[in-house]
Structure 1
Amino acid sequence: GRPSTGSRRTSLSGTQRRVSTHTRRVSGAGSKRLSGSGSAQRPILRQGKARSTAGARSFRFWGWCSGRADRGRRVTFRSTVKVSEFSRRLGGGDGVPTDGSVVALGLGKVVATSSVATASGPRAQSDQISWMSAELREQALEASMGRERFTKARAQQVPEMSQLLERRKLSREDGKDMVLMPSSFAEARARALEVSAEVEAGKAAEKKVIPYFPKLFAAATVAEVYSQLSLHTVSA
C-alpha cells in the first residue's frame, strides 16, 4: 500500500542523520558511526581531508598568478602597419655595389609616413624589383635627386668607390693569413681541437705566473723583490 506520512518523516530524518554522521567524522569528532533504528549506517559522502584556510588562500593566490602569466604571454597583432617612405640618394647607407660598378643606390631622408591595412591574404606580385643594373640605378637617382645634384654627388663618390673596390680586389688576391672554410665535419673538428689546445696552454701559463704575485706584493725591500723574481726565473 501507499506509505504513510510518518514513514516519510522517518526516512528523511535518517538521511539527515547520515549526513550529520559524515560531518562529524570529517571534523575529527571521533571514528564511531552513529546508528539509526538499532543498526550501523554507512555515510553517503566520501571522506576527504579538510583544507586549511592558509592553504586555500595560497592556492588561490598562485592560481591568480598563473592566470596573469598566461594572459601576459598572449600575442596580438594589429590590423595596420606603419610605413615609412624614403628618398633615394647616391651612396645612402654606405652601400657598396657587388657588381663592380660605382653607383650605389641607397636611402635618404624620410619623406612620408602612413598606416596601411594588413593584407587579409596573399597579394599580387609587386612591380618593385630587388636588383637594378647600373644604368637603371643612375636613372632612378637622377629622377629623385635632380640632374645637377646627382652629377655633383657622383663626381665626389666615384674616386672613393673606385679606390674601395680596388682594395677589396687586392685583399681577395692576397694569400697571406688566409684560411678557407672547412670542407668537412672532420676538418672543422680538428681545427676546433687545435684552438682548444692553444687556450688550455694559455691558461696553464697564467697559473704559473699568478702564484708569485702575492709574494712580490708582500716583499718589504727591493732585495726581497729581486730574490722572488730570481726564484721564479729559475723555476720556470
Structure 2
Amino acid sequence: MEGVLESAQTFHWRRLRLHVGAETLVMDRRVPLSQRATVEGVRSYDEVEEALVKGSGRRVTLQVRLTNGHPDWEFPGVPRAEAEWAAGLIAGRLATRQRAAAAGFTGALPLASLQREADTILAGDTRQVVDLVDFILVQATHRGASDVHFEPFRAESRVRYRVDGVLQEALVLPLNVQEAVLNRLKVVSNLKVFETGLPQEGRIVARTGGRSVDLRVTALPTIHGEKVTVRLFDPQRGMLALGELGMSEETLRAWRGLVDQPQGALL
C-alpha cells in the first residue's frame, strides 16, 4: 500500500525546487533567465533517512538526510512554515512505507478483527486519522466492496461495506473521531470542510496494491451529522462472468439456458 490518499506536492524556493511524490523525492534547480530546470537528484524513500528543520527564526534550512553514503540535500533560506510542512510530508511518506507490511494493509482481515485493528491505529502516537482512513479504504478494496458508508448516529458512527450488494458492518467509531475522519475525506477530495448543510461530491484517485482506484465521495447532511459514502471503481475487478455472480448451481443453469436462447430479452 503506497499511501492511499497521499497526493504529490512541489515546493519552490528561489531557484531550488523539491517535489515530494508518492514514490520519490526530486530536487531540481531552475536555469537563470529560463523556464527550464536541471534535475540534481532523484531518490526513492528507501534512500531517505529523515527530514530535519534546522535553525531558528522565520527562515530556516530544510535538510533531507540520505542513506548509502549519498550527500544530504539542503535547502537554505526556506520559510519556517513551508520547511515544517515539507518535513512533515516526507515523514509521512516514510511512516507509510514502514506500515506497508502491516497485515491490515497487505490483505483482507477477518471482519471481526477490523475493530481491534482500528482501535490500535487510533492508539498510535501520530497520523491516527490519516492511517485509519487509509486502513478502512484499503480493507474495502481487498474485500471487493463497491461502497463504504460512514453513517452517524446519536452516540456513535458506523462504518459499513457493501459487498455483493449486501451491507456489512465493519467497525464503530466515536463521534469525535468520525468528524476528523470526514474532514480528512473532504480535504483530499477537494470538498468544503466548513460546509455541512448541503450535499457535496468529490473525487479521489487512490493508490493501493500497485494500482490506482477511483473513489467518488458524496457527503449528505442528516439529523445526526454528515453521512459520507465512498464509491470504489477498481479497474482490476472489471466485468464479472456469469459464474462469478454467486448464484447457486440450479439458478446458474437456468440463467445459462435463458442466455442461450436465440431471441428474447432478460430484464
**Larger relative contact order (CA 8 Å, sep ≥ 6):** 2
Query: For this structure pair, what is the TM-score category when the shorter chain's length is used for normalisation?
Result: under 0.3
Larger helix share, 1 or 2: 1
**Max Rg structure:** 1
Larger strand share, 1 or 2: 2
Using structure 1 for the length normalisation, give the TM-score: 0.23
